[in-house]
Structure 1
Amino acid sequence: MGQILCGNKKPKSYTINNIVYKREKLIGEGAYSYVYMVKKNGKNYALKLIPLISPETEKIAKTEVYISKTIQHDSVCYLLDHEMIPQSNGLSTALLLFGYCNGPNLANFSGKLDEELLYDYFFQMLQAVQVLHCKYEVAFLHNDIKESNFMLTSDDGGRTYRVVLIDLGSCKATPIYINSRLEALRYEEIFQMECTSLYRAPELFQVPNPGVLGLGSDIWSLGCTLYSLAYGYAPFEGTALSAISANIKFPIDHSHHYRPIVQQLIRAMCNSERSKRPTIKSLIEQYPSS
């Protein structure tokens, strides 16, 4: 199937555990996957295809299956079904079936939201991340928080939209203990592959040795995401130096005027000292009313 995906011929349907879904259209494409809208009995679904071309992609697929089955919450896009399909080339393709989000992702609104919607959507984003951080025995780090990994979906024909967190393939159970320089370098390579550089926390560029990694890097990424949603571009350059310096500059033009609390939240979340960043729980408890 990996060969089919890269060529001109694409199957008209996909079968998961003997259930056939009709392919409608490509709706997303990542570094390691393709996402199609598929349909069965008039209902739309999102089907994620991950060609298992390396140990890394196999691990990503297995991680997403495990965590997406574990997390059952309306704020997170959870797994409905999955199957690993062997291909004629000796490799396999992972097919992961999710509920379909009928709205766009939040990257479409960067720099375009009024204050009320910015507050509303970001609060829902915090609630979605809280599901990973706090709702289960294991605290999960999402590890690739950015606006394009939050979808909008409507349950009332488009009158209102709610936010759904997607793409759990990079998730990590925390805490992560680093006991050697070799381990630190290995994790730096992992984070380079899995966590988008513009939203990557300083401790993921330079993993401490010895050290412990927790949930704080998601908080940093949320701060970067709020900045991007508010102003239309990321606050840092995607380099270790820019992240470590944590020198945030805010635009001064009047087209991006929000209450001071927006900049205060961003500064708090994008603190280069991990211990001084707020937790997801404290952010929600202290979140300003719109």
Structure 2
Amino acid sequence: MNALGLSLIMKMGCFCSREIVYINNVRYIIKEKLGEGGFSTIDLVENVATKKCFAVKRIICHGVDDQKIALQEIEYCKKLKHPNIIELIDSTFKGSADIVVNATSEVFMVLPFYRRGTLFDYLDNRSINKDYLSVSEIVRMFIDICSAVKYMHDFKPEALAHRDLKTANICLTDGLSPILMDLGSVAPAKVQVCGSQDAQKLQDLAAERCSMPYRAPELFNVKSFCVIDERTDIWSLGCLLYAMCYFKSPFDAVYERGDSVALAVISGKINFPEDTPYSQETRDLILFMLNENSTARPFIDDVIEKVDEYIRVLDNKV
């Protein structure tokens, strides 16, 4: 069937009944669209047999390179087993797997549905009335996020980096436990850059896969001869903790104004809002991670140790 015929049937289906998708012989009804990104869409679906709801991530692949990236995401989802990393329930591949320049295929991933949405949604709702999170709530969620990141950074046989840690990539359970999702940007943590061609390739990949307000300085202007490692995630964790305190990344305002995020990030200057309930110790913890010098930036074990120290300081103040 050609693309036009399929498109027509899909449109007719919208008038006659809800769209049905089959994944490994399991039938799901698509109830609504949950989100859409540059590479995929996420739909809320219901298993026809069990009536249980799931999220289905549908990745459109335009050629073999896209297919490899999508299938790599599935492999990482299968390998990474941690209570704070999203579980892959099922997956399938539909379409041509042949190496054809204009071949189009689809990858489907069945994931748990989190009705609370993402940390981004949670913070956005609270920002309306400047309803700041308590320090205890922030620390509880942040230490779980760090645990998931440590699991990836310690992964064997090769350390992995997420490369796109941000509030929109963290789901929340009913009990507000964070679940790290969207493993499409996951890659081996250590990258040896040997020459300008390697540098440009990594820089282009970062521009495509790593969200600008959370992207580490070394990924904006990759040096021709350097080593990029898992500490790109530590920078993103600093931006993430900042957002948990102040509702947005330290560079979101720059991005929204249309100014150069790259220049703002590379400058290393972090501005903190006034009249907030957070102490200097909180700001120091954020700054500990936001070191623009990647070789001086801490590793995840250092961050967890610093968080433990931060908790002890707060306990002594009570």
CA distance in 2, matches of 1:37, 1:109: 19
For 1:13, give the aligned amino acid.
I
Unaligned 5+ runs, structure 1: 155-159
- Structure 1 position 240 matched with structure 2 position 259: no
Offset, 1:234? 2.2
Structure label with greater radius of gyration = 2
The two structures have a TM-score, normalised by structure 2, of 0.82
1:27 — aligned with what? 34
> The residue matched to 1:28 in structure 2 has which SS?
strand
Q: Judging changes above 3 Å, is the alpha-carbon distance between structure 1 residues 36 and 148 closer, same or farther for their aligned structure 2 residues? A: same
Residue 71 of structure 1, CA deviation: 0.6
Corresponding position: 1:230 with 2:253 = no
Any idea what the Cα deviations from partners look like across 1:113-168, whole Å, max 9, x if unmatched? 232222222122111222211243221111111111001013xxxxx221100000
Matched, 1:99 2:115: no
For the residue of structure 1 that corresponds to 2:89, the secondary structure is strand
TM-score by length of structure 1 reads 0.89
Q: Secondary structure at the match of 1:113?
A: coil
Higher normalized helix content (fraction of residues): 2
Bigger mean CA offset, 26-35 vs 108-117: 108-117
Aligned residues: 281
For 1:251, the equivalent position in structure 2 comes to 273
Does residue 270 of the first structure (1) align with residue 290 of the second (2)?
yes
Q: Deviations over 1:93-120 (max 9, x none)?
A: 1111122223221112335423222222
Task: Tell whether the 8 Å contact from 1:32 to 1:57 is kept in structure 2 after alignment.
Answer: no
Q: Hey, what's the Cα distance between the residues in 1 that align with 2:77 and 2:37?
A: 18
Matching of residues 168-207 of structure 1 within 5 Å: 168-207=183-222
Q: What is the DSSP-based 3-state SS (H/G/I as helix, E as strand, rest coil) of the residue aligned with 1:95?
A: strand
Q: For 1:120 and 1:148, locate their aligned partners in 2 and report how far apart those are by CA, in whole Å.
A: 18
Q: Which residue of 1 aligns with 2:51?
A: 42
Equivalence for 1:63: 72
Distance 1:73 1:4 in 2: 39
Aligned partner (choices 267, 282, 285) of residue 302 of structure 2: 282
Please, which of 105, 127, 134 is the counterpart of residue 114 of structure 1?
134
CA drift at 1:54: 4.3
Match of 1:83 in 2: 92
Alpha-carbon distance between aligned partners in 2 of 1:90 and 1:270, rounded to the nearest angstrom = 42
Letter in 1 for 2:243: S
CA deviation after TM superposition for structure 1 residue 257, in Å: 1.8
Q: Deviations over 1:24-77 (max 9, x none)?
A: 221121111011122220222211000112455324312211111111222101
